[in-house]
Amino acid sequence: MARVRPKALLIDLTRCVGCRECVSACLIEHHLPTDPDSVDRLSAGALTALAEKDGIYVRQMCRHCLEPSCVSVCPVEAFQKTPAGPVVYDASRCMGCRYCMQACPFGVPTYEWDKAVPAVVKCDFCAERQARGEPTACAEACPFEATTFGDREEMIAEAHRRIAESPDAYHPHVYGERELGGTSMLFLSPVPFEQLDFPAFGDQPLPELTARALEKIPGILSIGGAMLAGIWWITHRREEVARAEAAERSALRQEKHDDHA
C-alpha cells in the first residue's frame, strides 16, 4: 500500500486581496448560512475567517497540527488526526468537556452555545473532499493563489522558493513549518508574524510537554480518566434511555389509537 502523503495549505498573505472567496466557498461547502462579508473571526457559523491587520489580510482557521493537542487531551477520542493531514471531529463521541478549546494553542475550536445538543465546531480541512482526491474548497476558490493546496513537503519547498526568489517581498520565515512540531497550515507574510498577532512558539509539540507533566501525577491522571469515562458513559446511557422511553410512549399511543379506531 502506498504511503499517504500529508497535505497542507500554503497561505501567502502577500497575495491576498481580501476578496473573501475562500470564506464564501467554505460556507457553501459546509452548508453554513452566514454572510461571508460579516466573517472576521471564527464562530460556530464560520470555519474560516478573514481579518485585516495593518493593510494585510490574515486567514484564520484550524491549523491541523501534526501533533495536535486537541487530540491528546480528548478523553473520548472525539478528535482524530488522519494520515492525510485533517484533524477530524466526531460529535457523536463528544461529552462536551471542551478540553479541546482550552488546549488549542491557536484558540480555534468554538462551541454551539445556542443549541440544545451543542457540538464543537472547527475547520475540517475539507476531509471529505480530500478523500475524493479534490483540493480544499478555499484553495479551489482562491483566484490569486493566495491559498494553495498540495503535499506538505511540496508546499514547504514552494514557500522557500518564493522567499528565495523575492526576498524583499517576504519575511524570511515559513510559519507552521516547525511551530509546535509543525502544522498543516503554512503561512508566508511580508512582515514579521508577531506584527500580525501570530503567537510565537517553539518547535516542541504540546502533547510532549503535556505527557511529561502528567507522568509526574499518574494517580491523578488515572482517577481523572476514569471519572471522565464514567461521565461520558452516563451521558450517553441517559440519551439511550431517553430514546427508548420515547419510542415506548409512541408505541403505546399508537396502540391506543388502534384500539379506538
More confident residue, 250 or 240: 250
Check residue 1 and give its pLDDT: 56
User: Cβ contacts of residue 127 below 8 Å, gap of 6+?
Assistant: 82, 84, 86, 88
> 54-101 pLDDT, tens per residue?
999 999 999 999 999 999 999 999 999 999 999 999 999 999 999 999
Check residue 103 and give its pLDDT: 95
Query: What is 7-210's CATH number, 3.30.365.10, 3.30.70.20, 3.50.4.10, 1.10.3720.10?
Result: 3.30.70.20
Q: How far apart are alpha carbons 52 and 36 in whole angstroms?
A: 14
Rg, the chain, Cα only:
22
Q: How far apart are alpha carbons 235 and 227 in whole angstroms?
A: 12
In this model, does residue 248 exceed pLDDT 90?
no
Check: pTM over 0.85? Answer yes or no. no
Q: Which three cell numbers stand for residue 73?
A: 487531551
Averaged pLDDT, 4-26: 97
Q: Confirm if 100 and 73 have CB atoms less than 8 A apart.
A: yes
Residue 192 pLDDT class (50, 70, 90 cuts): very high
